[in-house]
């Protein structure tokens, strides 16, 4: 293919023609260009040989440069494809929602809270973030509606950094002591959790809880 390409460019240069890309040159056109070039070479062989050598050298230089640029472009394409794959991978494992796990408990001493971030595929995502947790009376339109706030806890990302557990269950395990060491009088309360990632995205979850005996 390369020799064919060189031949086409060489013939075009010898005849003074502007040659289009090889894919656009018809077979009969190639034959005529070649015949014209041979006639010129036969008329002045010494001059023709020198011209051929010069053009071949020029074409080799141009082809080498084209190959270098092609290789450079291929490397850049590979780099971009890798970057795209990394972005897709990161997006696939970004937090989509959080859940208050079912074994979260209220005891006379504290709230044993389990919160797990999930991605859009519902797989666990271990990521840093801060928590704002509040406890409310049930709202008048149902237990899921938050009523008056009873108490609140806040945890920075540094404070919860070591609270991740992944043996039996995966998630943050936070123990919330009752303010004044006294639990609320309500038998049923609504727990609201807000989790803010390092990127500033906030996700929330709400769960109805009953006091453990």
Each residue's pLDDT expressed in tens, for the chain with a length of 213 residues: 444 444 444 445 444 444 444 444 454 555 555 555 555 555 555 555 777 777 777 777 888 888 899 999 999 998 988 887 666 656 656 888 999 998 788 888 899 999 999 988 888 988 889 999 999 988 754 445 556 888 899 999 999 889 999 887 899 999 999 988 788 888 888 999 999 998 899 999 999 888 764
What H or E segment, with its residue span, contains residue 173? strand 171-177
Give me Rg for the CA atoms of the chain. Answer: 37
What pLDDT shows up at residue 192?
94
What pLDDT shows up at residue 82?
81
The residues facing 138 across adjacent strands are 146
What pLDDT shows up at residue 195?
96
The residues facing 197 across adjacent strands are 129
Residue intervals in the chain for CATH 2.60.40.10: 97-210
What pTM value is reported for the model?
0.55
What pLDDT shows up at residue 92?
56
What pLDDT shows up at residue 31?
52
In angstroms, rounded to a whole number, what is the distance separating the alpha carbons of residues 103 and 118?
Answer: 17
Q: CATH: 2.60.40.10, 2.70.180.20, 2.40.50.140, 1.10.3720.10. Which one for 97-210?
A: 2.60.40.10
Burial letters 69-93, b for 16+ CB under 10 A, else e: eeeeeeeeeeeeeeeeeeeeeeeeb
What pLDDT shows up at residue 146?
57
């Amino acid at each position: 293919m390369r020799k064919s390409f060189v031949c086409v460019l060489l013939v075009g240069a010898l005849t003074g023609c502007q040659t289009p890309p090889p894919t656009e040159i018809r077979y009969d056109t190639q034959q005529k260009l070649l015949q014209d070039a041979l006639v010129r070479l036969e008329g002045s062989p010494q001059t023709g040989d020198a011209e051929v050598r010069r053009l071949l050298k020029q074409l080799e230089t141009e082809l080498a440069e084209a190959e270098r640029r092609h290789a450079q472009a291929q490397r850049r394409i590979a780099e971009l494809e890798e970057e795209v794959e990394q972005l897709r991978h990161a997006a696939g494992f970004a937090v989509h929602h959080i859940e208050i796990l079912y074994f979260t408990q209220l005891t006379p001493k504290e709230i044993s809270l389990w919160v797990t971030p999930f991605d859009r595929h519902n797989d666990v995502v271990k990521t840093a973030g801060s928590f704002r947790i509040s406890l409310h009376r049930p709202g008048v339109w149902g237990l899921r509606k938050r009523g008056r706030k009873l108490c609140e806890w806040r945890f920075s990302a540094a404070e919860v950094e070591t609270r991740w557990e992944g043996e039996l269950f995966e998630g943050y395990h936070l123990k919330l002591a009752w303010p004044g060491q006294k639990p609320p009088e309500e038998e049923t309360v609504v727990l609201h959790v807000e989790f803010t990632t390092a990127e500033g995205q906030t996700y929330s979850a709400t769960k109805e809880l009953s006091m453990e005996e």
